[in-house]
Chains A and B, each alone.
Chain A
Amino acid sequence: MKKLIIVAHDYGLCGSVNQGIEYVLEHKNNIISDVSLLVNAPGSNAAVEYIKKNNISACLNLNLTTFMPISKNTASLVDDKGYFKKVDISTWDFSAIDSFKDKEVENEINAQYRWFVEKVGRKPSAILSRKNETGDPKILLPMVELAQKEKLPVRAPVWGWKENYGAQSFVEQSGVKLTNHVFIGLKDWKGRFGYDPVRDLASLIKDINKKEGISELLFFAGFVDKELFSLSTINWQRGQFVQLIAKGNLTKEIKSNFQLISYSDL
C-alpha cells in the first residue's frame, strides 16, 4: 500500500480554522497526520497551546506572503504598512518576491523557525510553506540551508501546486529528505488546481497511486466565521473537509487505499 502524508493547512490562521482542524483531529474519522503551523497569524499562539497539550505532529508553515514578518529590518519584504508585499494567487503572480533581499529572506525564515522551536518546545516535523513560496529559489535556498542544518524534511517545492523540477531536484541533490508530490484536496473555485474530495475522489486516489515515492495530500480545514472571510479568499471551502470527516466516507476510502504516515516518519 502506498504511503501518504495528510496535512491540515494553515493551522493558526484564526480561531475558526483552529477549531475546525481540532474538531477533525479529535474525531474518530480523523485522517490528518500533521498540522502545518503558521507562526505570524492571529491564531498562532492558541494553536501552539493545542499542539503542546495534545502532542500533535506539527510542521512549520513558513509564510512570506501574508500578515507581518516577525524579524527586524524587513524593508524589502513589506509594503508601506508593514505587511508582506501582496502576491496574487488568482493569477499566481508572485513578482513581489523579485524585490526581496536575500539577507532579509534568510533572517525571516530563521526567525519563523526559532519562534516555532521556542514556543512549541521542539523542532517541527518538517518545513513547509503557506503558498509553497519555497518553490521560488530566493526562498528555497535559505530554507534548504536551514533544513540541512536542522536535519529536517521538507515538502516538495512545487510551484503553483504543480511540478517544479529545478527546485525539487535541488532539494534531492542537497540530501534533504522531501516528499515527492503534493496533492490538494480542494477544488479551487477557479478550477486551476486540486481535487474536489467528493466528485474527484476516485481520480485523486488513482493519481496518487500512479506517482512514485511519497505523496502529501493537503487539506484546507476549518469552521467558517466572519474573521475567516476577512482573512482568506479560501473561506467557506474549508468547511467541506470538516463535514466530510464527520460523515466518514472520505476516511473509509483513504484508509482502504493508503498507509497513512506522518512527516515525522520520513
Chain B
Amino acid sequence: MKKLIIVADDFGWTRPINEGLVRSYEEGIVSEISLMLNSPATDHALQFIKKHRLNNVGLHMLLINKQNFNRDDYVKLFQNKSSASIEKLAISELELFEKLVGKKPTHIIPQYGIHGNLKLLQILINYVKEENIPMRIPRTALSNANPDENYAAEIMFKRSGIKTTNYLFGHVTGCDLVEVRDKFLDELRIVKEGESAEILLHPGYFGAEILKYSSVGYERARDLALSLDDSFKKSIMKMGFEILSYSQL
C-alpha cells in the first residue's frame, strides 16, 4: 500500500479559514490539520478542536509573534538571532501548543518551510526524535532558488531518521482547479509501493481579513473545493493510496 497524508495548513489564521478547513477535514479528504498559535483566530480554532474533537492536529510553527509576517521577516530572524534564541522561541511555541491543545502536536510543520534553515532544523530534529513526532520535509520558501535545492537540510533531515514522508507536493497559487488536480495526480505516480507522500493544501473560505495577512486568498476556497471533489479522492484511491494521518505513518 502507498501512504498519503493530506494536510490543511494555516488553521487559526482567520475564522473563514477555520470554518472551511474543518469542512475539508470532516467532509473532504484532508487527514491532518496544522494549527497556528498566536494568530487572529487561534482561539476560534481551539474551540473547534474541542467541540468537534479534532484528533490529528499538529503545530504550524511560526516562531514570529506578529499578525503580518512575510518571508523577509524569517530571513532577518535567522540572520540576527543566535541558535540559542531560536531554540527558545521554538520550545516556547511547542510548550504553548501542549498547554492550549492539551497534548503534544501530531506533527511539526514550520511556516514557509523555515526548517530549511539549519539553525532551526537541528533544534527541531532533536525535539521530534525525542518525542517521536513526525515532521514535514524541509522544503523551504526562504531561498529564491528552487525549493527542492537545499541539499544540506535534506541530507541532515534524512540522516536523522525522523518520521516523515518520502515526498511532498503542493500547488499554492493559480486559478485552474483541474490543472492543479491533474498536477497532483501526475506527481503521485512517482510514489512506489511502501512509500509515502504528503499533499499540502490551504483549504478555507475566503474573507477580506486574509488579504491583510497573506498573498494566498481565494486559492484557499479552491483547495476546499478540491478537498471535497469525489473524483479526486477516487483517482487517488485507484492509484493504490491509503489516506492516513501523520500519526499512522
Contact = CB atoms under 8 A, between A and B. Distances in A.
Interface of A: 16, 19, 23, 187, 189-191, 196, 198, 223-226, 229, 235-240, 242-243, 246
Contact of B211 (A191, A226, A229, A246): A246
Contact of B19 (A189, A196, A223, A226): A226
A191 B178 CA distance: 9
A224 B205 contact: yes
A211 B102 CA distance: 63
Interface residues of B, number: 20
A19 B20 CA distance: 18
B183 to A, nearest CB: 14
A223 to B, nearest CB: 5
A242 B208 CA distance: 9
A224 B221 contact: yes
Nearest to B173: A198
B206 A239 contact: yes
B176 interface: yes
B48 to A, nearest CB: 14
Contacts of B225: 229, 235-236
Contacts of B224: 229, 236
Contacts of B208: 19, 23, 223
Given A224-B205, A224-B206, A242-B218, 17 more contacts: A16-B205, A16-B207, A23-B208, A187-B176, A191-B178, A224-B20, A235-B225, A236-B218, A236-B224, A237-B175, A237-B218, A237-B222, A238-B218, A239-B221, A240-B218, A242-B217, A243-B218
A223 B206 contact: yes
Contacts of B116: none
Contacts of A237: 175, 218, 222
Given A226-B19, A235-B221, A198 B205 contact: no
A225 B23 CA distance: 11
Contact of A240 (B23, B175, B205, B207): B175
A49 B217 CA distance: 28
A122 to B, nearest CB: 29
Contacts of B205: 16, 223-226
13 contacts: A187-B176, A196-B175, A196-B176, A223-B206, A223-B208, A224-B16, A225-B19, A226-B205, A235-B221, A239-B217, A239-B218, A240-B175, A242-B211
A191 to B, nearest CB: 7
B75 interface: no
Contact of A236 (B23, B178, B206, B207): B206
B156 interface: no
A191 B175 CA distance: 12
Given A187-B176, A223-B207, A236 B221 contact: yes
B207 to A, nearest CB: 5
B176 A236 contact: no
B177 interface: yes
Nearest to B23: A226
Contacts of B19: 225-226
A243 B217 contact: yes
Contact of A187 (B175, B206, B218, B219): B175
